[in-house]
Structure 1
Amino acid sequence: MNPYAFLAIAIISEVFGSSMLKVSNGFKKLYPSIGVVMGMGVAFYCLSLSLISIPLGTAYAIWSGIGTALTALVGIIVYKESFNLKKFLGLALIIGGVVVLKLSSGGSH
């Protein structure tokens, strides 16, 4: 499987796990707590598989950057958290940074 597919699965799983933290009520609710553990477990496993071919700095920057941006969007869309110009600019800068890092890797990884 393509290492970037593993990285994408890692990102989606991490966003899911982080989103379940919100509803786990401090790990007092069983099913959301299981979602946190499973989401994070799959995320780290798939991240480790992506690191076989993708440089650590590139993979981690993409994983954390896109994961942060998507988690913020989940907060805004699902949990109705506030959204303003500063949040938009912050998310745009994160995504822009990820794009620049990906472009700097030369596409050979």
Structure 2
Amino acid sequence: MKEYIYLLIAIIGELIGTTLLKASDGFSKLFLGMLALFSYASCYFFFSKCLKTINLGVAYAIWSGVGIVITTVIGIILWKEKNNLITILAIIMIIIGIILLNLTTTNK
């Protein structure tokens, strides 16, 4: 169970890092850029911890899939990025893919 907590922390770190990277405006706001790097470092640390017991493919699918979905939502809400039916369908397909991969793979 703790491996999924590590994975959750890694996802949160990646989401914070990506949001801060956008907010840093191409590192023109150095403090935000440095916070992004710190967030990514913690993200990879916790991702490596979860890989001790979760299969790489499953962990990466969850990490990247959840990251894509939530980052898209953050972009729409925070940065007023446009979305459309194709965006919503793509997010649904990513979620379905994560679920299917988890149903068909066993952990170590």
Give the TM-score normalised by structure 2. 0.93
Tell me if 1:50 matches 2:50. yes
What letter is aligned with 2:50? S
Work out the CA distance in 2 between the residues paired with 1:28 and 1:105.
43
Q: CA RMSD in A?
A: 1.3
String of CA shifts for 1:10-59, please: whole Å, max 9, x gaps.
Answer: 01110110111111111121221122111111110010000000011111
What secondary structure sits across from 1:11 in the alignment?
A: helix
User: How far, CA to CA, are the matches of 1:105 and 1:30 in structure 2?
Assistant: 42
- The residue number in structure 2 matching 1:102 is 102
CA shift digits 1:60-88 (9 cap, x unpaired): 11111111111111001111111110000
Q: Which residue number corresponds to residue 31 of structure 2?
A: 31
Cα separation, 1, equivalents of 2:39 and 2:72: 17
Instruction: Find out whether 1:85 has 2:90 as its counterpart.
Output: no
CA distance in 2, matches of 1:37, 1:93: 30
2:70 is aligned to 70
Provide the rounded CA distance (Å) in 2 between the counterparts of 1:103 and 1:5.
19
What is the percentage of aligned positions where both structures have the same residue? 40
Q: Which 4+ residue blocks in structure 1 deviate beyond 2 angstroms?
A: none
2:41 is aligned to 41
Uncovered stretches (5+) of structure 2, i.e. residues with no partner: none
Structure 1: 5+ residue stretches without partners? none
C-alpha separation between the residues in 1 aligned to 2:31 and 2:78?
A: 18
